[in-house]
Every structure is written in C-alpha cells, then in structure tokens.
Amino acid sequence: MAFARSKVFVACTLALGMGLSACSNSNNEDKKQTTLTASAPATGEASTLTERNAQQRLSSNLEKNFKTAGIKAKITEIKATEVPNLFWVSLEGMTSVYATSDGKYIFQGDVIRLGDKALYNVSENLQADVTKKQFAALNAKDLLIYPAKGKAKHVIYVFTDVSCPYCHKFHEQMDEMNAKGIEVRYIAWPRGEQHMPAMEAIWCSADRRRAFDTAIAGGQIAGAANCQNPVKDQYQMGLNIGVNGTPGVYSSEGLYLGGYMTTAELLERLK
C-alpha cells in the first residue's frame, strides 16, 4: 500500500484527532477526539427485504456519486444505524463513513445519542466491528508481541512509534502490564515519513523486541538491515480505522480504549 496520504481521500478531510494522552501525527496536530463508552449494541445487518433494497439503492447511488467526484472507493459493507436514514459504510483501504440514505452526503466522525444520563457513542461499536476484522487478519509474525506472564487475561493492540514520548511512558510499564495478565501487541505506526526508517529498522532487526526496547529508550539500533517489512501496510491500516496519534490502544474486540494510560486505568477500561 502507498504511504502517501493522497491515496486515502478521507485521511485529510475526515480523519479524527487524538486526545492529549497521545503523540499526534505530525500532519494532524490540530485535531482532537473525545472517547466515550458505548452502552448499547450497534444495529445489526439488514433483516428485511425492504432494508436490503434500501441498502442496495444506497450502494448504487454512492458508487455513482463516487465516480462522478473522481473518488476511487470500493464499498465492502453497509449497515443501518439507529439514526433514521443514516448508514455506516465500510470502504476497502479507506476509513469508514456515514452516508445518508440517498447517497448524497457522507461524513466521518462520532454520532452521539442524547437523552440518557450517559452519552452513547453510536459510532463506537460500528467501528469496533471493522477494527476487530482488521486485527484478525494480522499475522503474529508481523507484530511486536510482549506476552503476559502466566495466563493471558487480556490482549491489546497498540499503535506505536519510538519517537513518541507518550509511547515511551507506556512502554516503561510493560513489565507491570504483563504481570497483570495483559498481552501487548504493538503495531508500527510512524507519525510521519521522517520516522518511517526507524520503525522499519526495528521491524527488520533479528531481535525485534530488543531493538524496540533499545530505540524507545533513546539508544541506537546496530546492524539492522533493510528487509521486506509490514510497516507501511500497518501505517495504512491505522489510517483506515481512524488512528491519528500514538499510542493508540485497542482491545482485542476492536474497541478504542484511549491513548497513554496507567496500568490501573487500562485494566479499568478493559473491564
């Protein structure tokens, strides 16, 4: 996959920012995101002929409008949401978007339901389902894994970059997290092209964990050769699911948990 942002039409116009507990992507430092906790399941697949026909019409209209606008987007899935006439659309190699039922308007971001004491983020579970599928498709040999000590109680996926101070803080508590039964699976996510070589050098090292430990502590990586590596693909995957800063911490179910947090805070969110 290409590293350039021009390949992802939503990356510049629709991508979300991260909170202050994460290191921003160097090209998106002014954007900000608030994480809310979902309290109800997302709407499921179309269950009636009327719903399926509506989704088919939406797919046709979106494809036509994408073509007219010169957007090369392939629709992989459409889901109805609890909001009338609003659909969740998954796109191949791009960030998911919301679309109106006529296919004339799209947007990307959080839809929040009001009315209860707790705010409900309509988007959270819809995106989590997409993200979970992306994680399931990853090959363990392409990740940087720090296993739990003893039986793993939780598995988390963390988008990381050795140039990020918050990633340093997060990594400093690795022994504590592992001792609490948390397996950490790092995904490479350099925050800009200038940080790509360092992450590729780590992923090409014979001892990837040792190289990462050294680099994130401020040391130099010795003897790392160039190799075929998944760093650019992992960066692109992060863009597709809405990552815009590091560390970006996700549960194995695809739920975004937040940026940097202490082990105690992480355990609380995993509950």
Low-confidence ranges of the chain (pLDDT < 70): 1-21, 24, 26-47, 223-225
Residue 161 is among the residues annotated as catalytic for this protein: yes
Which is catalytic among the residues 129, 161, 185, 204? 161
Asked if omega into 247 is within 30° of 0 (cis), the reply is yes
- Out of 3.20.20.140, 3.10.450.70, 3.90.1300.10, 3.40.50.10800, the CATH code matching 35-131 is 3.10.450.70
Amino acid identity at 88: W
- From the candidates 23, 129, 167, 204, give the one annotated as an active-site residue: 167
| pLDDT number for residue 94 | 87
Q: What are phi and psi of 159, to 5 degrees?
A: -80, 125
Q: Which pLDDT score is estimated for 22?
A: 73
What are the structure tokens assigned to 230, written together?
């998944």
Q: Measure the N-to-C terminal CA separation of the chain; round to a whole number of Å.
A: 35
Q: Of 23, 185, 191, 204, which is the active-site residue? A: 191
Predicted model pTM: 0.77
Which pLDDT score is estimated for 230? 96
Do the domains at 35-131 and 136-270 have one common CATH topology?
no
Q: Where are the domains of the chain?
A: 35-131, 136-270
Q: What are the Cα distances from residue 6, in Å, to 15, 17, 160, 215, 218?
A: 13, 18, 23, 30, 32
How many residues in the chain? 271
- Strands of the sheet containing 97-100, edge to edge, are 75-80, 86-91, 97-100, 106-107
As a whole number of angstroms, the distance between CA 136 and CA 190 comes to: 21
Considering the chain, what percentage of its residues have pLDDT values greater than 70? 82
What pLDDT does 199 receive?
Answer: 95
Please give the pLDDT value at position 69: 94
Overall fold of domain 136-270: Glutaredoxin (3.40.30)
Each residue of 27-72: pLDDT tens digit? Answer: 544 333 333 222 333 444 555 788 888 899 999 999 999 999 999 9
Catalytic residue (one of 23, 129, 164, 204) = 164
Classify burial at 160, counting beta carbons within 10 Å of its beta carbon; exposed 0-12, middle 13-18, buried 19 or more.
buried
